[in-house]
Amino acid sequence: MDIVTILGLIAATMTTVSFLPQAIQTWKTKRTKDISLPMYATFTIGVFLWLIYGLFANSLPVIAANAVTLVLASCILFLKIKHG
């Protein structure tokens, strides 16, 4: 694995892990009042498109980060719609 891929994987890990606290808090409390539905809907669609891009570009960091982020963002979006 080259240094650019390693750098991408580290960046992907950090930005993806940053969603965990929000996802965990939202899951536990079911409170979504302060979460913007348009923002999370737009963000989730964007992450999905990044994932598709990563698959076409065959970029492991882009695929890995956006696959995990899509799951986390989708959970938050689902909870916002359900409890919002």
Architecture per CATH, 3-83:
Up-down Bundle (1.20)
Q: What share of the chain is helix, strand, coil (3-state, %, to 5)?
A: 85, 0, 15
pLDDT per residue as tens, the chain (84 positions)? 899 989 988 998 898 898 889 889 988 998 888 889 999 999 999 999 999 999 999 998 899 999 999 999 999 999 999 987
Domains of the chain, residue spans: 3-83
Say if residues 67 and 48 touch (Cβ distance below 8 Å).
no
Residue 14 CB coordination number (10 Å): 10
The secondary structure element, H or E, covering residue 80 is: helix 60-83
Sign of CA dihedral 32, 33, 38, 43: negative
